[in-house]
Structure 1
């Protein structure tokens, strides 16, 4: 990779995250941490408002932007493939936004790149989500983003109904089903709920904040530790 391309990609990585360590950046760029330190210093000398320091992490000062990017033919094809594969499994609102974003990207591509992207022979069957499921996914996504607690009426795999209050953390797609990862206040632990087994849900007025031991990062860490222990 040319140094100019690496510096450009480095800016994109830093501006796309709240905080990026040199180790993370080095891994993504396939260079040493020392090279990252030198590149960041060079960018700072050129006036790019990167804040932070070695050993702590880097972030981009608010308000910094770059001119619009132009995608290559392969990148445009990858975007088309991603939207086509994901759209049938997204709720109706999010799927429409994805299609609109893709249309804007295709509209500014050179004719040859646009033709190659639109003719990509990769498709996914429609009908992956029912209207009821789509509405339920919108509710879960909005509650997760606004950090509102939810009251669920849930039917477990043994057909036993339960009611519980949860903190929604994220939704995961596993191929045939969607699940919602949450902190369950009834069990005082992390739980995953199949979205198609949620019988009813209510958005509560109460919001939640990150608390040690109850975040998505904590859940992912606990899962990794359990997997490592089982091996």
Structure 2
């Protein structure tokens, strides 16, 4: 759980309790240590959240406290709507629907006077034809979150086909299509795979054996090395397979 989400949940735990609640009980509910609870409560109190109590006795949230509404400037609303529009026109159905829902939620919390940003926005994203893919991008995103390997049958730019087992790290969205940044077991190197060139694919039960943060750090280091190598006189070229 991200720290911001945990702080919100901590406030909700205190809000539900009518009596002082100990750090131990809070920690059990949030699945964190007492030390983390103490640190989070101190952070909330520093932000003027009215929490009373102390270690060894318990904590209580003073009545009448409400989380402040999300305050967005007009530029922030426009930026968020524009970004959501881009995803709505270029994401797979699941992500496109989520983007449309996000726009609706933004409209619900937007300050008075910002209606035109939704009814008649001053910015827009041109529609594009959805790419043809051999593997639904929502499954790729799920595989990345769950650290699953993916087997693919891949066609290169010359039409040759090969079978690969990849460790997906990141799914990149472009106007022209989508690309998977991965570790390729066959090449023993980081590679990019264009989703429209995937003939067939299967998300495997096999898990990626390395921590994702460490693997991404290795990938970023490798990409930085490539940028330095190709910065001059020609542009950086990604290693699309083969």
Q: Is the pair's TM-score, using the shorter chain for normalization, greater than 0.5?
A: yes
CA distance in structure 2 between the aligned counterparts of 1:74 and 1:115, rounded to whole angstroms:
13
> Residue 103 and residue 205 in structure 1: after superposition, are their counterparts in 2 closer, same or farther (change >3 A)?
same
Residue 104 of structure 1: CA displacement? 1.0
Counterpart of 1:62 in structure 2 is: none
SS at match of 2:157: coil
CA distance in structure 2 between the aligned counterparts of 1:213 and 1:183, rounded to whole angstroms:
13
The CA RMSD over aligned residues, in Å, is: 2.9
Residue correspondence of structure 1 range 142-181 to structure 2 within 5 A: 142-181=142-181
Q: Which runs of 5+ in 1 are unaligned?
A: 1-13, 17-42, 49-64
Q: State the Cα deviation string for residues 18-37 of structure 1 (Å, max 9, x = none).
A: xxxxxxxxxxxxxxxxxxxx
CA distance in structure 2 between the aligned counterparts of 1:170 and 1:210, rounded to whole angstroms:
15
The yes-or-no answer on 1:105 pairing with 2:106 is yes
SS at match of 2:229: helix
> Residue 212 and residue 86 in structure 1: after superposition, are their counterparts in 2 closer, same or farther (change >3 A)?
closer
> Residue 188 and residue 134 in structure 1: after superposition, are their counterparts in 2 closer, same or farther (change >3 A)?
closer
Residue correspondence of structure 1 range 1-231 to structure 2 within 5 A: 15=4, 46-47=45-46, 67-130=68-131, 132-133=132-133, 136-211=136-211, 215-231=215-231
Determine if contact 1:80/1:118 at 8 Å carries over to the other structure.
Answer: no
Q: State the Cα deviation string for residues 64-86 of structure 1 (Å, max 9, x = none).
A: x9533121222111111111123
Determine if contact 1:153/1:164 at 8 Å carries over to the other structure.
Answer: yes
Q: Which runs of 5+ in 2 are unaligned?
A: 6-41, 48-65, 232-242
How many pairs were matched up? Answer: 176
Q: State the Cα deviation string for residues 190-225 of structure 1 (Å, max 9, x = none).
A: 110010000000111111143599712211211111
